Amino acid sequence: MSFESPLEAPSETPLHALSLAQASALIRQGQITPVQLVQAYSDRIEALDAQTHAFVTPTLASAMQAAHQATREIREGHYKGPLHGIPIAHKDVFLTQGERTTAHSRHLQDWLPPISSTLVTGLAQLGAISLGKTACHEFAFGSPAPDDPFPPARNPWNLAHMPGSSSSGSGAAVAAALCLAATGTDTGGSIRHPAAACGVVGMKPTRHAYPMSGVLALAPTLDVAGFITRTALDQALIWDAWHGTDVSATCLADTKSSVLKGLRMGVPAGLWQDPENDQATHDPQIRACFEMALDKLQGAGAQLVSVNLPPRQQVVHAANTLIGYEAFQQLQHIWRDQPAHLGQGLRQKLASASTLSLNDYQAARVQANVWQAQVSAVLAGQVDVLMWPGRESLPETLQALMDQPTAQRSACNRLFSLTGHPALTCPMGVSTQGLPMALQMGSGLNSERHLLQVAHAFEALIAWQWPSLLA
């Protein structure tokens, strides 16, 4: 839903329909309390999560205790900042002390970690309130299968469809308004992919922008922690709370979208055609929506620049090699010694990864370093941001995902996974099938401020209306 100001909402707006920025402002002003907000989300989880399966382990009782504590603290003048009293959720690869962390796997289905991850602990210290742990693909690498111990998350736009991978439950939870934000991890697109599939905002920041300590590793040289939110401004508020910056204020001050005037947008040459088989690479609706988005951005003063980027299939191959090789190092002992503890989708992927050699891995690492330098040069000299669709196709059905667990998906996310540059996906339209379509943008290393400004201005430009799903 769209309001005149991103910090204001009509008085009749249900609490679950507020953005994080709006809820934070109302808490700060004393118009709502964390108890009211957590109660609204608890009610919604209890009513709707049987449809979405976004949560593996809801922690609603402890969330309400934290909400009462936050309400007292704020009432007594101990306001901690924009995340104080905000209900969030955590992907189930983030360790949570004394609360089950499963990685959506039978192998860990009853594990209670002795510690919490640094990000989980830090967010709690900032006043954020955890509603629980969200579903994911097994160990952030597998794929949903009938023999999984927990049901897979479903897309709130259409429950027959998949909500992306592997931070699937986080994407579904935010889209279904079961929380205001959720943590995720992105190794090959696993924050941006579910955000794109679910019509919300996901940002993979520059590596190490958020700590990965206490997060179950998949491919340690590529793993990045981040968030899924409803809006770019919500992302900016979380960024500010963690880093002590003022990105959200910069976004709000740009009322005339001046950040778009003169913006050099790089679009990959040959984006729409695969040179290896001369076939179209994108759904026609996504291509049309993307071109319309570019037209609107040019109308606001941005400039379109065609740029040469590394070949798509080579990027996919290198990324899959790095992810597969490193993932196998993490999980091979379970695959060999306790294969029944793993779902069939993950077993298939690990079987394929077991054939990768150290030479394969080292060659892919060298190539990734070359591409990082190439992309950095493009962003330093030719353009300010790179733009392409957030997904090549509409979210497929969950059954199609189960039928082909190892099929290539979301190849467009792989390049910045390899190079480490920040990238963000945000909604750009809705298909005739009622499924969201997304824009992806990337920028220079450590340039999250500018990336968030551009994303916020784009949302205002297209007047994106966040729908109330599963109301």
For residues 27 and 8, what is the distance between their CA atoms, to the nearest angstrom? 12
DSSP 3-20: -SSTT---TT--GGGS-H
For residues 342 and 333, what is the distance between their CA atoms, to the nearest angstrom? 11
Please identify which residue in the block is written with the tokens 């023999």: 147
Domain map of the chain by residue range?
Answer: 1-471
Question: Among candidates 178, 209, 214, 171, which has minimal Cα distance to 193?
Answer: 171
What pLDDT digit, counting tens, does each position of 435-445 carry?
999 999 999 99
Across the range 146-169, mean pLDDT stands at 94
For residues 440 and 197, what is the distance between their CA atoms, to the nearest angstrom? 12
Q: Which helix (H) or strand (E) holds 129?
A: strand 129-134
Tokens describing residue 358: 């150290």
Please identify which residue in the block is written with the tokens 């150290």: 358
Q: How confident is the model at residue 468 (pLDDT cuts 50, 70, 90)?
A: confident
pLDDT given for residue 309 in this prediction:
95
Q: Supply the Cα-derived Rg of the chain in whole angstroms.
A: 21
Tokens describing residue 471: 């109301």
Mean pLDDT of the chain: 94
pTM metric for this prediction: 0.96
pLDDT given for residue 405 in this prediction:
77
Across the range 178-191, mean pLDDT stands at 97
pLDDT given for residue 440 in this prediction:
98
Catalytic residue annotation: 91, 166, 190
Across the range 190-213, mean pLDDT stands at 97
Q: Considering only 53-62, 358-367, 394-403, which range has the smallest mean pLDDT?
A: 394-403
Across the range 156-184, mean pLDDT stands at 97
Q: How confident is the model at residue 277 (pLDDT cuts 50, 70, 90)?
A: low
pLDDT given for residue 276 in this prediction:
63
pLDDT given for residue 2 in this prediction:
39
Q: Which helix (H) or strand (E) holds 386?
A: strand 385-389
Q: How confident is the model at residue 316 (pLDDT cuts 50, 70, 90)?
A: very high
For residues 107 and 102, what is the distance between their CA atoms, to the nearest angstrom? 8
Q: How confident is the model at residue 34 (pLDDT cuts 50, 70, 90)?
A: very high
For residues 97 and 308, what is the distance between their CA atoms, to the nearest angstrom? 47
Q: Considering only 337-346, 405-414, 450-459, which range has the smallest mean pLDDT?
A: 405-414
Beta pairing, strands 181-186 & 129-134: unpaired
pLDDT given for residue 280 in this prediction:
63
pLDDT given for residue 3 in this prediction:
41
Q: What angle do CA 423, 428, 433 make, to 5 degrees?
A: 125
pLDDT given for residue 5 in this prediction:
65
Across the range 38-63, mean pLDDT stands at 98
Q: Considering only 256-270, 299-313, 386-400, 404-418, which range has the smallest mean pLDDT?
A: 404-418
- Is the link from the previous residue into 117 a cis peptide, with omega within 30 of 0? no
* CB-based contact 456:233 (threshold 8 Å): yes
pLDDT given for residue 278 in this prediction:
55
pLDDT given for residue 4 in this prediction:
46
Residue 1 pLDDT > 50, yes or no? Answer: no
CATH superfamily membership of 1-471: Amidase signature (AS) domain (3.90.1300.10)
Q: Which residues of 328-355 are buried (b: 16+ CB within 10 A; e: fewer)?
A: bebbeebbeeeeebbbbbbbbbbeebee
Residue 430: strand pairing partners:
436
* CB-based contact 416:422 (threshold 8 Å): yes
Q: How confident is the model at residue 275 (pLDDT cuts 50, 70, 90)?
A: low
Percentage of the chain with pLDDT > 90?
88
What pLDDT digit, counting tens, does each position of 299-310 carry?
999 999 999 999
Across the range 216-242, mean pLDDT stands at 98
Across the range 246-272, mean pLDDT stands at 95
Beta pairing, strands 129-134 & 55-58: antiparallel
For residues 322 and 251, what is the distance between their CA atoms, to the nearest angstrom? 36
Tokens describing residue 404: 């082909």
pLDDT given for residue 304 in this prediction:
97
Please list the alpha-helical segments (H only) found in 338-439.
344-353, 358-381, 398-403, 414-419
* CB-based contact 94:57 (threshold 8 Å): no
What pLDDT digit, counting tens, does each position of 335-364 carry?
999 999 999 999 999 999 999 999 999 999
